Amino acid sequence: MERISDVVIIGAGPAGMTAAIYASRAGLKTIMLEAGAPGGKLTKTNEISNYPGYSSAGGFELATDMFQHSTTFGAEYLYGNVVDIEIDKTNSGFHSVITDDDTVYKARSVIIATGTKEQLLQVPGEMENIGRGVSYCAVCDGAFFKGKKVAVIGGGNSALEEALYLSTIVEKVYVVIRRDVFRADSIVVDRVENTPNIEVIRERKVEEIVSDGKSVTGIKLYDSHDESEKELLEVSAVFPYIGATPISSWIADEGVTDAEGYIEVNEHMETKIPGLLAAGDVTKKSLRQVVTATNDGAIAAQSCVRYIKCV
């Protein structure tokens, strides 16, 4: 099957949904493709306190509001798992976005807003215990461990914010960091250090996630400076938050990504390929927040309007 539009937006997170608002409001025929739930990682975030106008907002609620707004001006939301993109090299005026059901979406302009995915610990016991005590979403799975001890791995904002959320549910939260200092904002660090049932374990790395064959029972840790110094921490769940990787593998061959897979764009969110843009966390940038993603989406859409009017 083949669909034709002015703009195809790949991804329905904050960047993609904002792009859909601006593109459709400008009169462009807009299709937004998403392989998961609208909102992206925002739906897995317990609380947003730094988005203008919301001193405290639930991630799922904010994502729902954004999604409803994104289709107000006629943008079409469709499920679609993108597996390839064919860049226009014949001057046809259309790039082709291909999904895993072999549908081809042709558009004069494409905005990639696929975001990032959680980085794995890559230790024994991780993959086989996903859903049995290993989780990458505290908001989704935290309630299963009410009254138990859990571990959060990571020292950035995401890790600490999820630790704070879990502290309201579980008996105790261990925050394991490989350094002596956090990589998070001081206001978040202060809250963690002043929460009675959160204990920070510094300068430790995870060697293995241990289970009894049915569920997680603990994690083996070792000293960041001396691998011979080890300990077993008994917990019922492990929540890794050690970073993210861009979702861009299917565009890697086009020469628009850096060594880590982030898409390189200019101030107009344009790649070096005419009509191909990117927005949000998938781009190479210094700050990845909801507010910066929405900013990117708006700029990308306006760049599409300008590009389409000129070709």
Residues with catalytic annotation? 137, 140-141
Instruction: With CA atoms as reference, report the closest residue to 305 among 76, 7, 2.
Output: 7
The DSSP-derived string for 176-198 is E-SSSS--S-HHHHHHHHT-TTE
Contact 206, 221 (CB under 8 A): yes
Look-up of token digits 């060594």? 259
Distance CA 11, CA 103 (A): 16
Q: Encode 210-221: b = buried (16+ Cβ within 10 Å), e = exposed.
A: bbeeeebbbbbb
Tell me the H-state helices in the chain. 14-25, 59-70, 138-141, 157-167, 186-193, 290-310
